[in-house]
Amino acid sequence: MEMTLLEKHLVNRESKGRHNFELLRQRLNEIGRERIHHVLELGCGVGYVSVFLAKAYKMRVIGIDFDTEQIRRARSLHREGELLRFQALEASRLAFSDASFDLVVSQNVFHHIAGWQRVVQEVGRVLRDGGYFIWLDLAFPSLVKKLLQPWSKTHGIYTFEEVRKELQKDGLIQLFYERIRRGLFAHHHLILQKATNSV
């Protein structure tokens, strides 16, 4: 889904990026960052998180975003190189081989994607066995979901339990969970690991 100018302004703030860096730093310390070499960031926006992972941890990072303008801005702000690339792609149709990544990161992306279930399938496909998925996003209580249903053709509107079940169905095992209260709705932070020999 194409974001409005206001949404782009909100998601591309450096202060938001710094908050996301800290959350990622904590999660990477927990799972052991020495096992992570190839990373895919979904919905990278103008690239702050991708750059952070490439610079701070020397990981090879590909940041993708559906919005070509966001990718153009990311490339103008940050130099691409051996450790960092940006690509305009839909998260529901990833142009990568199976088992390409040790880590996939998605921070506040799913609620922008009506067909988020397909994104979960793609994450499961491109993660290597034993690879990690770090997911942070808001979710809606059942009653609020019913009220917002008319917007479900352009946005991802789901309960947390729906997301959790979809992740499990695609062979992603929950290792960590934290509920974060921000604004009107709770955000949920997960670390998941792809089961060995999952289908």
185 located within any domain = yes
What's the pLDDT at 9?
Answer: 43
* Residue with the larger pLDDT of the pair 42 and 20: 42
CA distance to 7, 20, 76, 188, per residue, from 13 (Å) = 10, 11, 16, 20
- Indicate the range of 5-9, 24-28, 65-69, 103-107 predicted with least confidence: 5-9
| Closest residue by Cα to residue 133 from 162, 158, 95, 107 | 107
Mean pLDDT score of the chain, rounded to an integer? Answer: 89
117 located within any domain = yes
pLDDT above 50 for 199: no
Confidence of residue 13 (pLDDT cuts 50, 70, 90): low
pLDDT above 80 for 66: yes
Percent of the chain clearing pLDDT 70 (strictly above): 89
pLDDT above 60 for 92: yes
- Give the structural domain span for 139: 5-194
Q: Where are any strands of DSSP class E within the chain? A: 38-42, 60-65, 84-88, 101-107, 127-138, 172-182, 185-194
- State the total domains in the chain: 1
Report pLDDT digits (tens) over 74-89.
Answer: 999 999 999 999 999 9
For residue 157, the 8-state DSSP code is -
Confidence of residue 10 (pLDDT cuts 50, 70, 90): very low
199 located within any domain = no
pLDDT above 70 for 16: no
pLDDT above 70 for 2: no
pLDDT above 90 for 33: no
Confidence of residue 150 (pLDDT cuts 50, 70, 90): confident
Any idea what the CATH number is for the domain that residue 75 is in? 3.40.50.150
Say how far apart CA 13 and CA 123 lie, in whole Å. 26
Give the amino acid at 135: W
